[in-house]
């Protein structure tokens, strides 16, 4: 593993366990056994390191999420999305914890602004799926933005519960179906 990769991995672990704002550059470089100029060489700043982490982890996930298209079956489409999130959260738990944390960072912080760019893309992907679905489901018309936010909220609640319980069985296909059914009840009731 290169020093650059070690810095990314160490920062992921530290940000997930202590919070982004509670970890300084000195702590990161000490954990890898390098000096600050090494981090600055690769990333320019702590924010640059966060941006590299977002690019490395979040961007590929968003690209995978884009591959899920509405196929005429809203339930199956949403189940697939939920399971994609569940799988990603299990495989990238430290990164997902960071995203959940930075979603609520102070709005004027650099970390929030970096993360917000990716979150906007995420919401847009989900919103586009609901826009497609509303063509078949009139009761969904004009609600795609709200559906995208509330749908992601219910997914993140389930993932947060998983992180608290550490029960690997929580994020499975059966619970994805249950979660989807719960969400869809609000749409079709």
What is the CATH number for 168? 1.10.357.10
For residue 69, give Cα distances in angstroms to 66, 77, 99, 129.
7, 7, 24, 7
Whole-number Å distance between alpha carbons of 6 and 14: 12
| Averaged pLDDT for residues 150-178 | 89
Whether 123 contacts 172, CB under 8 Å: no
Whole-number Å distance between alpha carbons of 15 and 142: 38
Lookup: tokens for 126? 């989900």
Got the DSSP string for 130-150?
Answer: HHHHHTT-GGGTT-HHHHHHH
Residue 16 domain-assigned (yes or no): no
Residue 32 domain-assigned (yes or no): no
Residue 23 domain-assigned (yes or no): no
| Averaged pLDDT for residues 72-76 | 93
pLDDT value at residue 139: 82
Residue 119 domain-assigned (yes or no): yes
Report whether pLDDT(63) > 60: yes
Q: What angle do CA 11, 20, 106 make, to 5 degrees?
A: 155
Report whether pLDDT(189) > 70: no
Residue 1 domain-assigned (yes or no): no
| Averaged pLDDT for residues 76-97 | 95
Whether 80 contacts 129, CB under 8 Å: no
Distant-in-sequence, close-in-space partners of 135: CB < 8 Å, separation ≥ 6? none
Q: What is the pLDDT of residues 160-169, one digit of tens each?
A: 999 988 776 7
* Domain limits for position 118: 51-188
Residue 3 domain-assigned (yes or no): no
Q: Binning pLDDT at 50, 70 and 90, where does residue 76 land?
A: very high
Whole-number Å distance between alpha carbons of 6 and 33: 10
Whole-number Å distance between alpha carbons of 36 and 155: 38
How many distinct structural domains can be found in the chain? 1
Residue 171 domain-assigned (yes or no): yes
Residue 41 domain-assigned (yes or no): no
| Averaged pLDDT for residues 108-135 | 94
The 8-class DSSP code of residue 119 comes to H
pLDDT value at residue 88: 97
Q: Binning pLDDT at 50, 70 and 90, where does residue 99 land?
A: very high
| Averaged pLDDT for residues 77-104 | 95
């Amino acid at each position: 593993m290169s020093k650059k990769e070690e810095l990314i991995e160490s920062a992921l672990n530290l940000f997930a366990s202590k919070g982004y704002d509670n970890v300084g550059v000195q702590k990161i470089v000490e954990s890898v056994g390098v000096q600050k100029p090494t981090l600055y060489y690769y990333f320019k700043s702590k924010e640059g390191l966060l941006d590299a982490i977002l690019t490395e982890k979040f961007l590929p996930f968003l690209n995978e999420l884009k591959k899920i298209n509405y196929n005429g079956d809203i339930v199956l489409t949403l189940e697939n999305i939920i399971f994609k999130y569940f799988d990603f959260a299990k495989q990238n738990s430290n990164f997902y914890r960071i995203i959940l944390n930075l979603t609520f960072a102070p709005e004027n912080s650099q970390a929030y602004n970096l993360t917000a760019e990716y979150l906007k893309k995420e919401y847009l992907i989900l919103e586009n799926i609901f826009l497609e679905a509303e063509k078949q489901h009139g009761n969904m018309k004009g609600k795609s933005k709200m559906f995208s936010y509330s749908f992601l909220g219910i997914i993140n609640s389930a993932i947060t519960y998983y992180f608290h319980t550490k029960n690997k069985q929580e994020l499975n296909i059966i619970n994805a179906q249950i979660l989807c059914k719960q969400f869809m009840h609000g749409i079709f009731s």
